Amino acid sequence: KQEVTQIPAALSVPEGENLVLNCSFTDSAIYNLQWFRQDPGKGLTSLLLIQSSQREQTSGRLNASLDKSSGRSTLYIAASQPGDSATYLCAVRYNFNKFYFGSGTKLNVKP
Amino acid sequence: DTGVSQDPRHKITKRGQNVTFRCDPISEHNRLYWYRQTLGQGPEFLTYFQNEAQLEKSRLLSDRFSAERPKGSFSTLEIQRTEQGDSAMYLCASSLRVDTQYFGPGTRLTVL
C-alpha cells in the first residue's frame, strides 16, 4: 500500500527563519511528486512539481528536493514570511491517474 | 486563480437526500480528478476521467456515488442517500496529460 507521511504535523516559527518540511513515501517507484499549499477552507495551490528523474526544483524562496532511493522529499522555505502561513501538502503520483497525499504540515509564521 | 471552478461552494443537506456537485476544468485539460478531504487530512482520490472516459475509481467510491463527464468537458459528482460520514470537502482538479494538477476551490458538504 502506498503511504505518504509528512513530518511535522504542525510548525510555528518566527518571521525570517529558514525552514524544512519533510515528506516520506513507502514505494519509491514514483512518477512524480508535487508540493501544494492550502489556505483554510480553500482549494490547493501547486507550488512545485518534481519529475522522478529530477533531484530538485526551485521557485523563488521555495526549493524542493527528491531522493527516490530513500523515499523522501523536502520543501525548503527561505526567509519565511507571515503570508507563508498555510498547510503544505505533498502528493506522490505512482501512475498516470492519481496522487497519494500526505496529511500535511500546518505552518504558522509569527510576525 | 487556477481556472478550475466548482459549484456550489457550500452545500448543507439532510441525511438521505441526494446532492450533485459540478466541476468545470481548465478548458484545454483532458484529465479530471475528484478527491475528498476531511478535516486535518490530505485529499483522498475518488475517481479520474480522461476526456469523457472514467478510467479509475477508488474503493472509497461506494455505490451511492456516481460521477460523469459528458463530452469530456465539465463533470458532475452525485451522492445518493447522503450519510453524515459523507460530510467533507469535495475537490476537483484538472491537468493536461500527466502534468501539474490544478485544483478548484472545492465544495464543502455538510450532512445533518
The pLDDT confidence band at residue B2, using thresholds 50, 70 and 90, is: low
The per-residue pLDDT for range B28-86, each reduced to its tens digit, is 899 999 999 999 899 999 999 999 999 888 887 889 999 999 988 999 999 999 999 99
Cβ neighbors of A76 (< 8 A, separation 6 or more) are A18, A19, A20, A62, A63, A64, A65
Residue B19 has pLDDT above 70, yes or no: yes
Question: What percentage of chain A exceeds 90 in pLDDT?
Answer: 83
A70: how many CB neighbours lie within 10 A of its CB? 10
The per-residue pLDDT for range A43-76, each reduced to its tens digit, is 899 999 999 999 999 999 999 999 999 999 999 9
Phi/psi of residue B15, nearest 5 degrees: -55, 135
Q: Which three cell numbers, joined as nine digits, stand for B85?
A: 460520514
The pLDDT confidence band at residue B96, using thresholds 50, 70 and 90, is: confident
Residue A110 has pLDDT above 80, yes or no: yes
Phi/psi of residue A17, nearest 5 degrees: -75, 145
Q: Which three cell numbers, joined as nine digits, stand for B31?
A: 484529465
| pLDDT given for residue A94 in this prediction | 84
State whether residue B8 is helix, strand or coil: coil
The pLDDT confidence band at residue A77, using thresholds 50, 70 and 90, is: very high
| pLDDT given for residue B98 in this prediction | 67
Among B37, B59, B90, which would you mutate to test the A interface (most chain A Cβ atoms within 10 Å of its Cβ)? B37
**Do B101 and A43 lie within an 8 Å CB cutoff?**
no
- Amino acid in position A56: E
The answer to whether the beta carbons of residues A75 and A90 sit under 8 Å apart is yes
- Please identify which residue in the block is written with the cell numbers 510555528: A12
**Do B40 and A43 lie within an 8 Å CB cutoff?**
no
- Amino acid in position B76: T
Residues 43-82 of B with CB under 8 A from A: 43-45, 48, 55-56, 58
| pLDDT given for residue B99 in this prediction | 74
- Amino acid in position B69: R
The string over A33-67, giving b where at least 16 C-beta atoms fall within 10 Å of a residue's C-beta and e elsewhere, is bbbbbbeeeebbebbbbbeeeeeebeeeebbbbbe
Q: Which three cell numbers, joined as nine digits, stand for A12?
A: 510555528
Q: Which three cell numbers, joined as nine digits, stand for B27?
A: 478548458
With the C-alpha atoms ordered A87, A48, B9, A96, is the resulting torsion angle positive or negative? negative
The pLDDT confidence band at residue A78, using thresholds 50, 70 and 90, is: very high
Q: What distance in Å separates residue A108's CA from the closest CA in chain B?
A: 15
Q: Which three cell numbers, joined as nine digits, stand for B91?
A: 475537490
| pLDDT given for residue B72 in this prediction | 84
The answer to whether the beta carbons of residues A57 and B59 sit under 8 Å apart is no
